[in-house]
Structure 1
């Protein structure tokens, strides 16, 4: 079967969580949880043809509920940070509870990653898919408007998983949805550092940050001559060890890259390529979003045990989060995150897997 639904345990309050597995005839397989609309696993072959799950996460639902690590979760209502948890729309100020120092991160303390999403449409065949839905009421975590959100996971072919988000509102609001997968192309069964992975990012600019990870003034800093110049690709470990003030502030790379070739309403454009020389696995990301938050697992500190009882440590994963820029609601110079009644928010990102 190309689509399978099964129980994945219960939350502490007794609510059931479901796991949906999509499988292509080629062998590419992705699984999604209704808790947090979480991308739970991705099975991909290495150059010897050996399949392995390349996503960090947890083996049971209790791991996701008790440790808010965002592993594979759908992030919302606003991914990334909002400075001081405040923004204004049409003269009215809205306050989101701070949960990252002085700032609001990933939707606040009770973001979309902490919710049970409802299974909607599903399909088998050449492009198996599953759509999950969530209603976020007016005032949820301080955000205005009742938001009707959905996310669809679809295997387009034997190499590509597409994630597509949509949302509508009954009141002017801000929206920024993404997925927070933690990739390790070497596999999740026995985790080793991703510092030997090679990373290419199609961006000539990045948004430099202050000490609280909020973008500085300006629409972007040039990557040329900095550790953030990944246009030709580089070994991750060679870049995160450089003595650079921005790397110190992020404890590594934890920055938004301004993607080359993006334009509002356009098709997904090449954003990043990751290559693991050890296994040959390669991930190519395409997105229709203007920014890509690149995060090198800087805050994995050995306190969390994940899949197969593996302890996750700094540098054990790479996150590629397509999205609007951080703090956009307070930055009129950034591509807007505003959503009006009668409009539809859309975001499409494609993850293409191959072997070298």
Structure 2
């Protein structure tokens, strides 16, 4: 629920707040629509602090939503797809469902394969976040807050987390800003699990075939049969994970499969890999440019995070119908989850995810949209 009364004056800032429904637990959820001076819209809901739409322009100036989402609150409560939601306390896998920090062993909840993943079974994407809307000279948006008590998901330390969604007034850009403090030594890895298709959320597999990815990452995390990092960081050169000079995810999926795209245990092949950026650790920099050559829509990603989980929605099967009324298909979108590496607490050589009392975790990721000139 918003902490800012949204009336006529607030509406003039480009912020609209609408009822979205009530959860099965009886919690009211609101939907926020931001619109800037250029006509870009960003939409999100309080449940999971979930992004549900981003309307951006193609080369002809036509705006379309490029974020995959579901039709209603009940669908978001039911899904395991984590569409556009905040993931925490720890995004990604932690092997053997535990880690040791400063000599103390922390045991976490294990899934059926003995791995902790994405905060299950009580993840942040299944909670209603508190919201405060804001408007300043350069941007409009909302600050989402969540108090995570000591022992939440078995992690030590009471933690106060804020996630800001910020739409710039004069450019097609939105930012996600993360902040957190903890009362005890712990680990933290936050991300947003948004799925994109720059040809439009309903464009599907055919739309993805015209996407081109350029990613400034020179290493990837080798994983075992459970998709848990082994601790080895390998060079991307000569592998399907090398996007430094640009390439097509779809074309590489159609090519004869070889490691590291081959799925372990006979699972679905595809991208679900952690790529380590070439930039200096902690630096805020552009790390990727992703363009749809058909629509002309282009997205730059800037982040202070050291890595990304690139995922080609390998688990989609067409059965889950999106907000456009179309079933989402395998390889019909991509996730670009800026974060720290999975299983970092068990690998001291990885960028650290430890957070101590008196420290403040801060991270920013920006998505900047533009369009190529119309074809002649």
TM-score by length of 2: 0.91
Task: Note the C-alpha offset of 1:114.
Answer: 0.7
Q: Distance in 2 between matches of 1:126 and 1:90?
A: 43
Contact 1:201 / 1:272 at 8 angstroms: preserved in 2? Answer: yes
Structure-1 residue corresponding to 2:4: none
* Segment drifting more, 243-252 vs 134-143: 243-252
Structure-2 residue corresponding to 1:96: 108
Task: Note the C-alpha offset of 1:191.
Answer: 3.5
Task: Note the C-alpha offset of 1:145.
Answer: 0.7
- Is 1:200 the counterpart of 2:218? The answer is no
Q: Distance in 2 between matches of 1:336 and 1:233?
A: 29
Structure-2 residue corresponding to 1:315: 331
Partner SS state of residue 318, structure 2 = strand
Q: Deviations over 1:206-261 (max 9, x none)?
A: 1121111111232x111111111100111111222342122112721111111011
Q: Distance in 2 between matches of 1:121 and 1:91?
A: 42
Moved runs in structure 1, 4+ residues, more than 4 A? none
Structure-2 residue corresponding to 1:166: 179
Structure-1 residue corresponding to 2:40: 28
Cα-Cα RMSD: 1.4
Partner SS state of residue 230, structure 2 = coil
Task: Note the C-alpha offset of 1:88.
Answer: 1.3
Contact 1:271 / 1:292 at 8 angstroms: preserved in 2? Answer: no
Structure-2 residue corresponding to 1:48: 60
Q: Distance in 1 between matches of 2:281 and 2:101?
A: 24
Task: Note the C-alpha offset of 1:109.
Answer: 1.5
Contact 1:78 / 1:106 at 8 angstroms: preserved in 2? Answer: yes
- Is 1:300 the counterpart of 2:309? The answer is no
Q: Distance in 1 between matches of 2:87 and 2:333?
A: 18
Partner SS state of residue 240, structure 1 = helix
Contact 2:84 / 2:192 at 8 angstroms: preserved in 1? Answer: yes
Task: Note the C-alpha offset of 1:121.
Answer: 4.6
* Segment drifting more, 133-142 vs 188-197: 188-197
- Is 1:332 the counterpart of 2:348? The answer is yes
Task: Note the C-alpha offset of 1:300.
Answer: 0.8
Task: Note the C-alpha offset of 1:100.
Answer: 6.4
Partner SS state of residue 64, structure 1 = helix
Structure-1 residue corresponding to 2:259: 245
Partner SS state of residue 270, structure 2 = coil
* Segment drifting more, 9-18 vs 319-328: 9-18
Q: Distance in 1 between matches of 2:21 and 2:202?
A: 21
TM-score by length of 1: 0.96
Structure-2 residue corresponding to 1:181: 194
Q: Distance in 2 between matches of 1:191 and 1:227?
A: 22
Contact 1:77 / 1:112 at 8 angstroms: preserved in 2? Answer: yes
User: Which of 66, 69, 81 is 1:57 aligned to?
Assistant: 69
Contact 2:205 / 2:330 at 8 angstroms: preserved in 1? Answer: no
Q: Distance in 2 between matches of 1:168 and 1:133?
A: 12
Structure-2 residue corresponding to 1:229: 242
Contact 2:239 / 2:260 at 8 angstroms: preserved in 1? Answer: no
C-alpha distance 329-100 of structure 1, shift in aligned 2 (>3 A): farther
Structure-1 residue corresponding to 2:297: 281
Q: Distance in 2 between matches of 1:262 and 1:112?
A: 29
C-alpha distance 322-100 of structure 1, shift in aligned 2 (>3 A): farther
Q: Which runs of 5+ in 1 are unaligned?
A: none
- Is 1:123 the counterpart of 2:135? The answer is yes
Task: Note the C-alpha offset of 1:263.
Answer: 2.1
Structure-1 residue corresponding to 2:150: 138
